[in-house]
Amino acid sequence: MSILNLAWLIPLFPFLAFVAISVFTYRNRALSHRLAIGGITIAFVLSQIVFWAAVLLPVGGGEQAYESPLIHWLSAGVERFTLGIYIDPATTVMLFMVPLVCLMIFIYSVGYMNFGTPEVDPRYSRFFAYISLFAAGMLGMVVFNNLLTFFIFWEIMDTCSYLLIGFWYEKKSAYQAGLKAFLVTKVGDLFFMLGLLLLYAEVGSLAYRDIFNPGTLEHLAHTPFLGTQFSMATVIALLLFGGTVGKSAQFPLHVWLPDATESPPPVSALIQAATMVSAGVFLVMRVFPIFAVAEEGVLAIGGIHITIVALIGALTAILASIIAVAQNDIQRVLAFSTISQLGYMVAAMGIGAYVASAFHLITHAFFKALLFLGSGSVIYGMEHGHRDSRIANCELQTHVRAHSPCSHPEEFDPNDMMNMGGLAKRMPRTFWMFLIGGLALSGFPLVTAGYWSKDAILVQAYEQSPAIFWVLAVAAGLTAFYAMRPICMTFFGQPRSKAAEHAPESIPSMTVPLIILAVFAVGLGWAGIPEHFPVIGGLIPNWFHHFVGSTIEAGNAAEHVAEAAHGFVWQPTALWVIFALGGMALGGLVYGWKPMQAGEMDRVEAAMRKVWLGWLYDAMRDRFYFDEIYQATFGRGSILLADLFYMFNHGVVDGLVNLVGRAGRGLSEVSDVFDLRVVDRLVDLTGPGTRALSDLSAVVDLKVVDGAVEGVGDTTKAGGRFIRPIQTGGIQNYLLLVSLMVLALVMTFLMMLFLQI
């Protein structure tokens, strides 16, 4: 038995924590968060064991992926599904990242949700149950060996994201954001599922081992799809990519992610760094062999060949970074930066830069978690500063709560960067950590992890597709610019509101995770320094490339060729670093040189309005109206469809029913006339004769028959009066009666059966 089999247990403990909290310990807050943190800690320790084992032992680290003994899991008719764990380098690096970031976020949450203070969140335990399930979903998705479990855990995460984004569901915007995230990702999931069905129909298995063997891939690449010119592999790859588009918030399904910041900030960090959005990119990483053989997914635009995947990634990267420049909500800036960075990863997958993309996925998880938690710390400080300044102002109020400090709370948005400023002095630890995160995001050369991973992507983009390179390089410049913006606006200058003046530094349980994440946001880059890089290139072996790259064998020769033929290519690195440093310098100049005053218009906005580009700024601020467009087309469309059905129902179905009714009425009127004219006449004719007879029978009738009839009537009436009370109108009473009757019948039946009556 290999030590790698411990991976079975990794998703188990967070899941157990979820069950235990939601069933048993939800009343006890301290026990609940201890369980959640304990669960993820065990998962973390196990993951570390598996990680180092996979790295150090030949199995799992080499070309051969490790697959555990299989258990029989699910059978449907003659189909049999088996379940096992599958550990290859992609899994391994995810196992390094996910539990570690999750653990930091869990610890941070204890502080953020105000544990041990009077303002503790009323659904504190529930929060920890949800995030435990979320972590279990992500870990389960990573370790198991087939796409079906992948899909199941993927959906578990979707459910959790719905629950967590709408966690503060008293806020209308929060529950709407939750619903939006759920519905938009479902659009992508539909394609994902279709891809799975097609793949299963074609291969007959969803286990990675069966799909990724060269024979199967060959078969997929050469089978045409329904007689079209596309190969099966292309169609399957694009359908699966639909799942990525939804989950990783790529254009055109990126609209849910900015709204997801309605959730508590630790959840933003969880969703947008460690788990949910990484899942989309991880899916491409997972099924990369299919993408590698699906070469027909190529568009030709102006003679330049770009794969659809790369195109969508690059488009997303540039679009999101443009929008991010015009956002004032600190969390939204970060959300758009996430979308943009995911665009980088997807574009990298699209040009075949598998290793670079995986590397960026890992480094991004750390520095983005750091940024989100840092911004959470800022918001926490702002909320508390706001409360403290309110307390100073309203002496009348005796009972004070965090979120509604006065009887008539004025509108205050703790997320709005316009209200911040000067926080560097108030919250020094948060400031330094946020600065490190921001620099990593902008790709500050040599020191930060973000630099090395971005560099890896851009160098390969330069080789493979210059168009993609230029788009990504410009996006890198914009990224650096909008990364400096929150740093300067939040931490420098003078406080622009009372809340910022009073904001306290966050407690250690929040700042310590920041520091740990910051260490990784810097140090992780050293695992992937290219060997040909001047001076520092050979000092540390490019471990990441050797380890992760080994999965791709000969399948992706281009990568190796590019690497081997040129050695160190300085042009792309120099170009994009100029962009990035330029962006940073510009951002620092615009926002940091002369810090903004209270009530001042945003500098970029002012400049753009001066040169008649105000409309463009409005469009950027309103996210290029994607939400409005979707509302006007899909939202309105479905309402119209419902209206149409309503009208159909009203006009056609109701009309038919009414028509039948009217016809019936007409018929009855005709027969009424017939009755009066014809039948009555006939009856009248026979009248006199029968009259005498009837007089006779009247006597009998009155005495005998009437007596009987009235007797029956009276009896019925009395019976009705007797059983009337049981008609209460309460449906449950009726059901109870029905159940008792059924029970009685069953008893009778059994008695007849056994007593041989």
Partner 1 sequence: MIPLEWVLILAAALFCAGVYGVLSQRNGIAVLMGIELMLNATNINLVAFWRYLEPGAATGQAFALFVYAVAAAEAAVGLALIIAIWRTRDTIILEDIDLLKG
Cβ proximity to partner 1: between 735 and 750 the closer is 735
Binding mask of the shown chain, residues 301 to 330, with x at each position contacting partner 1 by CB under 8 A: ------------------------------
Does 746 participate in binding partner 1 (rule CB under 8 A)?
Answer: no
Q: Which amino acid is at 233?
A: A
Determine if 688 is a binding residue for partner 1 (CB under 8 A).
no
Q: Which is nearer to partner 1, 689 or 730 (CB)?
A: 730
Taking CA 305 as the corner, what is the angle to CA 226 and CA 570, rounded to the nearest 5 degrees? 140
Q: What is the DSSP letter of 65?
A: P
Beta carbons within 10 angstroms of residue 670's beta carbon = 10
Tell me the three-class secondary structure of 4-58, residue by residue.
HHHHHHCCHHHHHHHHHHHHHHCCCHHHHHHHHHHHHHHHHHHHHHHHHHHHHCH
- The reply on whether position 76 binds partner 1 by CB under 8 A is yes
CB-nearer residue toward partner 1: 159 or 550: 159
Q: Which is nearer to partner 1, 162 or 491 (CB)?
A: 162
The answer to whether 726 contacts partner 1 (rule: CB under 8 A) is no
Per CB under 8 A, the list member of 564, 692, 731, 755 interacting with partner 1 is: 731
Q: CB-wise, 534 or 730, nearer to partner 1?
A: 730
Residue 615 or 734 with smaller CB distance to partner 1 = 734
Task: List own/partner pairs for 710-719 with CB under 8 A and 24 or more apart.
Answer: none
Give the count of alpha carbons within 13 A of 530, CB side only. Answer: 26
Contact set for partner 1, span 401-460 (CB under 8 A): none
Closest CA to 244 of 296, 208, 214, 288: 288
Q: Is the peptide bond before 118 cis (omega within 30 degrees of 0)?
A: no
Q: Which is nearer to partner 1, 508 or 720 (CB)?
A: 720
What is the rounded distance in angstroms from the CA atom of residue 151 to the CA atom of residue 240?
11
735 binds partner 1 (CB under 8 A): yes
Query: For residues 580 and 195, what is the distance between their CA atoms, to the nearest angstrom?
Result: 38
Is 638 among the residues that bind partner 1 (CB under 8 A)? no
649 binds partner 1 (CB under 8 A): no
Element (H, E) at 368: helix 354-393
Q: Which segment (288-296, 577-585, 595-603, 722-730) binds partner 1 by CB under 8 A? A: 722-730
Could you say whether residue 732 binds partner 1 (CB under 8 A)? yes
CA angle 409–412–413, rounded 5-degree value: 145
Residue with tokens 């967590």: 164
Residue 542 CA neighbour count, 13 Å, CB half: 21
Piece of the chain touching partner 1 by CB under 8 A; list 214-222, 388-396, 566-574, 733-741: 733-741
Query: Which listed range, 326-334, 533-541, 661-669, 721-729, lies at the site for partner 1 (CB under 8 A)?
Result: 721-729
In this structure, are strands 304-307 and 298-301 parallel, antiparallel, or unpaired?
A: antiparallel
* Number of residues forming the site for partner 1 (CB under 8 A): 13
- Tokens representing 9? 């247990």
What is the nearest approach in angstroms of partner 1 to the Cβ of residue 80?
Answer: 11
Candidates 730, 753, 754, 756; binder of partner 1 (CB under 8 A) is 730
Stretch that binds partner 1, among 63-71, 310-318, 469-477, 735-743 (CB under 8 A): 735-743
- CA atoms of 165 and 163, how far apart (whole Å): 6
Q: Please, which residue, 671 or 727, has the CB nearer to partner 1? A: 727
Residue closer to partner 1 (CB basis): 298 or 735: 735
| Residue 77 found at the interface with partner 1 (CB under 8 A) | yes
Q: Exactly one of 392, 660, 736, 751 binds partner 1 (CB under 8 A); which one?
A: 736
Q: In the set 611, 729, 754, 755, which binds partner 1 (CB under 8 A)?
A: 729
Out of 404, 694, 739, 748, name the contact with partner 1 by CB under 8 A.
Answer: 739
Write down the H helix ranges in 223-275.
Answer: 232-247, 256-259, 265-269
Q: Which positions lie near partner 1, rule CB under 8 A?
A: 76-78, 727-732, 734-736, 739
